[in-house]
C-alpha cells in the first residue's frame, strides 16, 4: 500500500484547483492544502521533531486540523488528536502516556490547558521567521520550499487514537499508514471521489473522522465544515442543501434523532452512513421511505481495525431486517467466528468475531500484554487477527450478525465506552461506596449511560454532586445520563455482580436525582432512588 501523503499528493498533482476543504470563510484547493501542509511540515522539522515521533494536534473541527495532521505525516511523524475540551486529568494522562512533546495548536489564541503547558506549541497561524517561506502557516499561495523526504514507509504509524480503557485510563490504538490507505482506497459503501462532497460531523477524537478526512482526500472529494458542530435537524437540512452535500456520516444516536424529528432533512444526500451502536430498523425504514434513491450504509468496525470492516447497503424499506445485520466484509478484510479456543464455528453458531486483513492496526501503545491478548495469530490461517470481543454469527453468504458484547463494553453515540473507566472515576466521588455503570435503552430508543450508586451513608446524596465530580474527569460523552441509588449491588449465586438484575431507571431525572435509599439487610436487591 502507499502512504497517506503519497496518496494525497496524487490528487494534489492531478486536480490542484479542485476544492479539498470548505468552511465558513475558508476555501482550500488540493494545491493550496498541499502547500500549506508543506509549510507547516517544514516548521515542525525546524522545531526538531524526530522521525516517527508522536505529535499532538489540537482536535478542533476546522480545516486547520486537517492541514496539521497532513503536515505531521509529511514531517515523518504520527499525529495524536488532543481534544482541548477534555478534563485536565484525562489530557494529562494522554500527554504522559503518549510522550507527546510537540503540539500543533488550534491557532485561535486561546490558552492551553494546564495539562499541556509543558508541550512545545506550534501556532499554525503565527508568522514563521525560521525558514525561507516566512509568510506564515496560513499562507497558501506562491512557491514553497519542498520538505526533504523523511523516508516514511506504509508500515509507519499514521495516528494514535485514545479509546476508553477498562482499567480506568484511556488507551491509545496505534494505526499504521497502510491501515488507513487500505480502508480509504478500498471501502465501497460510499462512492467518494471528484464531484462528491461530505459534511464533517464527527469528533476528531473519534475514528469516524478518518473516513471524513482521509476517505475524502485520498479519493479527490471535498470535505465541508458546518458553521456549528452541533446542528439541529432543521439546521442540518439547510446546510446539506446549501452546501450541496452528497454524503454524510451520522452516529446511530444522531441518525435516530434526525429520523424521528425531520427525516426530510436528508433529502439532498446520496448516501448516509451510520453505525457505532445498534441502529434502529424502524428508523432506517422511515428514512428510506421518505427518500427513494437514498442509500443507508450501515457500517461496523472497532477502532483497532480502522473505522469499518463490515457494511450493509440499504436502498429500500423492504430490505431492512430486524435486527440489522452488520453486513459483509469490505474488500481486503476477512471475518471469522471462533469459539473460546480459537476454533472456527459453522454458520448459525455464536462465537467471538475475529477480524483479519490490511486494516488491522499495530496494537496498543505501551500495552504489550493487552496487545498480545487482543491481536492474535489465527490458528487456522496463520494470519494476524483482532479479537473484537463482539459475539456474532455468520450466515452461509458471509453476512455477520451481531449477537452482543462478550464483555461489558458499549458504544454511545458512536463513542466506544468502557464502563470500568466510568466506574473507576465514580468510586472516587465523595459519598459513593461502590457502583456499577451500564448502558440502557431510553424510551426514545437511544442507548444512554446509567450509573448505579451505593452511597456510603444513609441520607440524601445529590446526583448533581456526583455528576460534577465526573465532569471534571471524563469527556462529556462518558457522563451518565441517569443515576440510580441502590442499597447494595445485586449479586448472582456465585457472588458476582449481576448486571441483569439492575433496575430500570426513572428516565428524565438525570443529575437532578437525589440518591437516597434505606438499607435492606435481607438480600442485596437493587432498589431505585427516591426523590
Ordered structural domains, the chain, with CATH: 1-130+146-176 (3.40.50.980), 187-408 (3.40.50.12780), 418-485 (3.30.300.30)
C-alpha–C-alpha distance, residues 203 and 209, integer Å: 7
Q: What are phi and psi of 333, to 5 degrees?
A: -115, 145
CA quadruple 163, 166, 171, 174: dihedral, nearest 10: -80
Sign of the Cα pseudo-torsion (26, 27, 30, 36, in order): negative
Residue 1: other Cβ atoms inside 10 A? 18
pLDDT of residue 130: 57
Check residue 304 and report its DSSP letter: G
Inter-residue contact 75 to 41 (CB < 8 Å): yes
C-alpha–C-alpha distance, residues 85 and 203, integer Å: 11
pLDDT of residue 499: 82
Predicted TM-score (pTM) of this structure: 0.83
What pLDDT band is residue 165 in, cutting at 50, 70 and 90? low
Cα radius of gyration rounded to whole Å, the chain = 24
C-alpha–C-alpha distance, residues 408 and 32, integer Å: 46
pLDDT at 514 over 80: no
Mean per-residue pLDDT, 187-205: 96
| Residue 306 backbone class (left: φ over 0; alpha: ψ -120 to 50; beta: rest) | left
pLDDT at 526 over 50: no
pLDDT of residue 128: 67
pLDDT of residue 167: 64
Q: What are phi and psi of 334, to 5 degrees?
A: -125, 140
C-alpha–C-alpha distance, residues 131 and 108, integer Å: 23
- Of 114-118, 134-138, 427-431, where does mean pLDDT reach its minimum? 134-138
Question: Residue 416: beta bridge partners?
Answer: 411
What pLDDT band is residue 137 in, cutting at 50, 70 and 90? very low
pLDDT of residue 380: 72
Give the percent of the chain with pLDDT over 90: 68
pLDDT of residue 131: 52
Mean per-residue pLDDT, 54-69: 96
pLDDT tens, position by position, 237-270? 999 999 999 999 998 888 888 998 899 999 999 9
C-alpha–C-alpha distance, residues 67 and 137, integer Å: 10
pLDDT of residue 492: 62
C-alpha–C-alpha distance, residues 66 and 24, integer Å: 15
Mean per-residue pLDDT, 174-181: 98
Q: Cell for 298?
A: 450501515
Q: Are strands 197-199 and 222-224 parallel, antiparallel or unpaired?
A: parallel
pLDDT of residue 314: 98
C-alpha–C-alpha distance, residues 43 and 22, integer Å: 24
Mean per-residue pLDDT, 454-483: 90
Q: Cell for 222?
A: 471535498
Check residue 306 and report its DSSP letter: -
Inter-residue contact 309 to 329 (CB < 8 Å): yes
C-alpha–C-alpha distance, residues 379 and 468, integer Å: 48
Instruction: Please name the residue that has the C-alpha cell 449511560.
Output: 449
pLDDT at 488 over 90: no
- Of 15-19, 20-24, 487-491, 505-509, where does mean pLDDT reach its minimum? 487-491
Single out the residue of 477, 489, 486 nearest to residue 505, CA to CA. Answer: 486
What pLDDT band is residue 166 in, cutting at 50, 70 and 90? low
pLDDT higher at 156 or 531:
156
pLDDT at 134 over 50: no
pLDDT tens, position by position, 27-52? 999 999 999 999 999 999 999 999 99
C-alpha–C-alpha distance, residues 316 and 313, integer Å: 10
Give whole-number Cα distances, 373 to 367, 368, 386, in Å: 10, 9, 9
Residues contacting 293, CB < 8 A, separation 6+: 270, 315
Single out the residue of 481, 406, 496 nearest to residue 450, CA to CA. Answer: 481
pLDDT of residue 224: 98
pLDDT at 13 over 80: yes
Single out the residue of 258, 270, 252 nearest to residue 326, CA to CA. Answer: 252
Give whole-number Cα distances, 64 to 45, 90, 125, 182, in Å: 18, 23, 9, 25
pLDDT at 387 over 60: yes
C-alpha–C-alpha distance, residues 235 and 232, integer Å: 5
pLDDT tens, position by position, 296-338? 999 999 999 999 999 999 999 999 998 899 999 999 999 999 9
What pLDDT band is residue 517 in, cutting at 50, 70 and 90? low
Mean per-residue pLDDT, 479-506: 82
b/e per residue 6-44 (b: at least 16 CB within 10 A) = ebbbebbeeeeebbbbbbeeeebbbbbbbbbbbbbbbbb
Residue 83: other Cβ atoms inside 10 A? 18
Q: Cell for 252?
A: 446511530
Q: Cell for 307?
A: 473505522
Q: Three-state SS for 224?
A: strand
What pLDDT band is residue 444 in, cutting at 50, 70 and 90? confident
Inter-residue contact 384 to 360 (CB < 8 Å): yes
Max mean pLDDT among 64-73, 117-126, 254-263, 504-513 falls in 64-73
pLDDT higher at 79 or 229:
79
pLDDT higher at 511 or 518:
511
pLDDT tens, position by position, 344-380? 999 999 999 999 999 999 999 999 999 999 999 987 7
Give the percent of the chain with pLDDT over 70: 92
Q: Three-state SS for 435?
A: strand
What pLDDT band is residue 94 in, cutting at 50, 70 and 90? very high
pLDDT of residue 496: 62
C-alpha–C-alpha distance, residues 238 and 319, integer Å: 29
- Of 97-111, 290-304, 514-528, where does mean pLDDT reach its minimum? 514-528
pLDDT of residue 378: 80
Single out the residue of 220, 411, 397 nearest to residue 301, CA to CA. Answer: 411
Inter-residue contact 436 to 466 (CB < 8 Å): no
Instruction: Please name the residue that has the C-alpha cell 470500568.
Output: 420
pLDDT at 493 over 70: no
Residue 399: other Cβ atoms inside 10 A? 18
Largest CA distance in the chain: 79
Helix (H) or strand (E) holding 236: helix 233-242
Cα 392-438-285 angle, rounded to 5 deg = 55
Mean per-residue pLDDT, 443-465: 88
C-alpha–C-alpha distance, residues 391 and 338, integer Å: 9
Amino acid at each position: 500500500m502507499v502512504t497517506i501523503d503519497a496518496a494525497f499528493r496524487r490528487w494534489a498533482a492531478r486536480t490542484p484547483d479542485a476544492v479539498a476543504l470548505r468552511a465558513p470563510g475558508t476555501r482550500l484547493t488540493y494545491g493550496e492544502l498541499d502547500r500549506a501542509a508543506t509549510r507547516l511540515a517544514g516548521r515542525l522539522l525546524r522545531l526538531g521533531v524526530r522521525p516517527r515521533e508522536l505529535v499532538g494536534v489540537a482536535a478542533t473541527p476546522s480545516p486547520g486540523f486537517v492541514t496539521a495532521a497532513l503536515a505531521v505525516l509529511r514531517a515523518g511523524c504520527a499525529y495524536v488528536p488532543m481534544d482541548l475540551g477534555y478534563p485536565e486529568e484525562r489530557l494529562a494522562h494522554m500527554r504522559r502516556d503518549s510522550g507527546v512533546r510537540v503540539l500543533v495548536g488550534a491557532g485561535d489564541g486561546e490558552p492551553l490547558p494546564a495539562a499541556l503547558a509543558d508541550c512545545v506549541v506550534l501556532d499554525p497561524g503565527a508568522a514563521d521567521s525560521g525558514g525561507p517561506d516566512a509568510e506564515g502557516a496560513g499562507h497558501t499561495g506562491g512557491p514553497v520550499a519542498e520538505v526533504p523526504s523523511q523516508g516514511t514507509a506504509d508500515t509507519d504509524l499514521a495516528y494514535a487514537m485514545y479509546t476508553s480503557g477498562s482499567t480506568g485510563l484511556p488507551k491509545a490504538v496505534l494505526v499504521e499508514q497502510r491501515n488507513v490507505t487500505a480502508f480509504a482506497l478500498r471501502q465501497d459503501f460510499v462512492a467518494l471521489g471528484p464531484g462528491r462532497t461530505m459534511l464533517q460531523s464527527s469528533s476528531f477524537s473519534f475514528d469516524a473522522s478518518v473516513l471524513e478526512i482521509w476517505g475524502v482526500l485520498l479519493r479527490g472529494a471535498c470535505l465541508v465544515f458546518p458553521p456549528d458542530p452541533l446542528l439541529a435537524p432543521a439546521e442540518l437540512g439547510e446546510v446539506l442543501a446549501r452546501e450541496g452535500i452528497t454524503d454524510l456520516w451520522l452516529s446511530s444516536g444522531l441518525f435516530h434523532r434526525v429520523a424521528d424529528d425531520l427525516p426530510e432533512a436528508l433529502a439532498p444526500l446520496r448516501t448516509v452512513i451510520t453505525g457505532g451502536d445498534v441502529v434502529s430498523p424502524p428508523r432506517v425504514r422511515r428514512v428510506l421511505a421518505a427518500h427513494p434513491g437514498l442509500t443507508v450504509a450501515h457500517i461496523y468496525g472497532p477502532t483497532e481495525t480502522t473505522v469499518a470492516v463490515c457494511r450493509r447497503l440499504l436502498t429500500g424499506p423492504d430490505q431492512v431486517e430486524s435486527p440489522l445485520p452488520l453486513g459483509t466484509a469490505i474488500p481486503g478484510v476477512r471475518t471469522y467466528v471462533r469459539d473460546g479456543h480459537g476454533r472456527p464455528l459453522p454458520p448459525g453458531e455464536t462465537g467471538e468475531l475475529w477480524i483479519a486483513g490490511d486494516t488491522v492496526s499495530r496494537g496498543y501503545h505501551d500495552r504489550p500484554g493487552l496487545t498480545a491478548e487482543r491481536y492474535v495469530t489465527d490458528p487456522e490461517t496463520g494470519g494476524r487477527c483482532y479479537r473484537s470481543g463482539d459475539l456474532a454469527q455468520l450466515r452461509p453468504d458471509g453476512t455477520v450478525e451481531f449477537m452482543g458484547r462478550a464483555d461489558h463494553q458499549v458504544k454511545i453515540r458512536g463513542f466506544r465506552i468502557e464502563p470500568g473507566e466510568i466506574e473507576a472515576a465514580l468510586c472516587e466521588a465523595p459519598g459513593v461506596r461502590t457502583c456499577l455503570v451500564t448502558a440502557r435503552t431510553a424510551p426514545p430508543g437511544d442507548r444512554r449511560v446509567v450509573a448505579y450508586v451505593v452511597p456510603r451513608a444513609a441520607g440524601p446524596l445529590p446526583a448533581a454532586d456526583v455528576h460534577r465530580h465526573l465532569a471534571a474527569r471524563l469527556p462529556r460523552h462518558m457522563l451518565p445520563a441517569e443515576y440510580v441509588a441502590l442499597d447494595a449491588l445485586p449479586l448472582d449465586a456465585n457472588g458476582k455482580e449481576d448486571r441483569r438484575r439492575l433496575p430500570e431507571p426513572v428516565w428524565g431525572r438525570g443529575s437532578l436525582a437525589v440518591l437516597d435509599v434505606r438499607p435492606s439487610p435481607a438480600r442485596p436487591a437493587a432498589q431505585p432512588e427516591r426523590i
